[in-house]
Amino acid sequence: MNSERVAVLGASPNPDRASNQALRSLQRYGHTVIPVHPAREEIEGLPVVHDLAVIEGAVDTLTIYVGPRHGEELVEKIIALSPGRVILNPGTESELIKRRLKAGGIQVICACTLVLLVSGQFTAHTNG
pLDDT tens for 62-92 read 999 999 999 999 999 999 999 999 999 999 9
**Do residues 98 and 72 make contact, with C-beta atoms less than 8 angstroms apart?**
no
- pTM passes above 0.85: yes
Nearest to 93 by CA among 107, 115, 72, 113: 72
State how far the Cα of 50 lies from the Cα of 118, in Å rounded to an integer: 28
